Structure 1
Amino acid sequence: MSGPEDMARGARPILEVCVEDLQGVDAAIAGGADRIELCAALAVGGLTPPASLIRVAASASDASGVPVHLLARPREGGFVYTTREQALIADDIRTAADAGLAGIVIGALDADHRLDLPALAGWAAHAKSLGDARGRPLSLTLHRVFDLCRDMPDALESAVTLGFDRILTSGGTPKAIDGVKMLAALHRQAAGRIIVLAGSGVSPETLPAILVTGVREVHASCRAPITTPADPAELRFGFTSAGRSATDRDAVERLANMVAGHPALE
């Protein structure tokens, strides 16, 4: 695992963009994203995407140099996983490694709203083994299951012990702008041992206040409404939904420029 290398002295902030389809991969790269989180079903917080999209994203990453991290989440609703579901996530980790992706994004809780340490330790060891075998480590991100933990400072220490590189969090609130006090506290607690990646509701309007917390990585969807009317028949059959949105190249570029223009660590 790579460790919190992006926290190095002189590093500028980094923008990660979460995408759910091929158009999103292209828009994120064209707009200047520093990293991509590859998902499906962003409307429910993201799920594991199909293998076909993983392969295409890996090729795009190779061509552009933009690293891609795979979200491994087998279903919506809840983060307490059965043994069989844990095996699905382990297989997704292997898929990411075999495809040549740069990292994985994982998380799990126990019934008491604490991190499921045995499951996470197993996945982390699996990722390390796969990274060693291919000669390039898989970066580990703990996803926003962290925000559901009953004791986030304690969970941060567990994430450090498990060897995670970063934690994606909104500071325990639905939107990061409302969790800036906790984000600042977590960043201070991390003290360079792990990266705090601030996400949820990150926009040009909220970015300045979020970066004041000291975090140097932000996560955003950069989505905009699709203006083309949906086919009425597709709506009637439930094959699409009203109010659709998609990753927007211009939105990525605007946020990327703001991030790039922010002062580097001194």
Structure 2
Amino acid sequence: MPVLLEVCVDSPEGLEAAIAGGADRIELCSALDLGGLTPTPGLIAAAARAPVPVYAMIRPHARSFAWTPADATAMQAEIDAVRAAGLAGVVLGAALPDGALDVTLLGTLRARALGLGATLHRVFDLVPDPAAALEAAVALGFERILTSGGAVRAEDGLAHLVALERQAAARIGIMPGSGVSAANVARIVQAVGASEVHASCREAFTTDDSKGVELGFFPARQGATSASAVQALKRALANID
């Protein structure tokens, strides 16, 4: 059975590149350099015309995963906007101050997103008890957990990913992500038994606008989604025995 490739993007050009490269699903964000935030209305509108399913990140800022009541209100409005645009799903996460999943808030967000697909994002990689968090994600009705197995790169978290896949027992998907590339995806998929993987497929570049960098408008090193990197990853997935 083919392994599905989800590609995260944060711009109209990135969206086009991911689709041109053959992505099976899109995770739509803004500010991937910050780990991905809620996409802008214009990007959501562009994604509404995509020929593949699009899941929008619901993350109003990058300061914490322990959301305030004001954050929670904003997140519910963002879910409403995603629904109104006709996108396929949302990507959610929320934590308590101790790092455990905020099951109460996640339940509220899942209820607001009723009828939409839902992925639990890498807040999961910060929880103190992954086994308990997995059971909570199942109870909340998430389709999948995006995780690196608690490591910086999924390739380095294989033992934990294998354990999570075993515990999940087909009740919820375990989607390896972080550092997934054409060079390592076969090893990750074969070790974990994953049916889907997540990648940015970005090519790094250094901006030549030194004044803009100095003023804080642009990061010195940036990344852009590459259609050729998506294609290479798709070819590597197709060649997995």
Same fold (TM over 0.5): yes
SS at match of 2:175: strand
Counterpart amino acid of 1:49? Answer: P
Maintained 8 Å contact 2:10/2:31: yes
Q: Distance in 2 between matches of 1:19 and 1:50?
A: 12
Q: CA deviation at 1:233?
A: 3.3
Consecutive unaligned residues in structure 2, runs of 5 or more:
none
Counterpart amino acid of 1:218? Answer: V
SS at match of 1:244: strand
1:248: which partner in 2?
A: 226
Q: Which has the higher contact order (CA 8 A, sep 6+)?
A: 1
Matches within 5 A, 1:43-192: 43-59=33-49, 61=50, 65-128=51-114, 131=115, 138-192=116-170
Q: Distance in 1 between matches of 2:228 and 2:46?
A: 22
Q: Distance in 2 between matches of 1:261 and 1:99?
A: 36
Q: Distance in 2 between matches of 1:72 and 1:53?
A: 14
Q: Distance in 2 between matches of 1:75 and 1:24?
A: 21
Q: Under a length normalisation based on structure 2, what TM-score does the superposition of the two structures give?
A: 0.96
Counterpart amino acid of 2:27? Answer: E
Q: CA deviation at 1:262?
A: 2.5
Q: CA deviation at 1:241?
A: 2.6
Maintained 8 Å contact 1:230/1:240: no
Counterpart amino acid of 1:208? Answer: A
1:18: which partner in 2?
A: 8
Q: Distance in 2 between matches of 1:202 and 1:234?
A: 31
1:262 aligns with 2:235: no
Q: Distance in 2 between matches of 1:34 and 1:80?
A: 31
Q: CA deviation at 1:111?
A: 1.5
Counterpart amino acid of 2:197? Answer: V
Counterpart amino acid of 2:80? Answer: R
Consecutive unaligned residues in structure 1, runs of 5 or more:
1-10, 132-137
Q: Distance in 2 between matches of 1:238 and 1:85?
A: 25
Q: Distance in 2 between matches of 1:236 and 1:218?
A: 37
Q: Under a length normalisation based on structure 1, what TM-score does the superposition of the two structures give?
A: 0.87
Counterpart amino acid of 1:223? Answer: R
Maintained 8 Å contact 1:70/1:104: yes
Counterpart amino acid of 1:16? Answer: E
Maintained 8 Å contact 2:164/2:174: yes
1:35: which partner in 2?
A: 25
SS at match of 1:18: strand
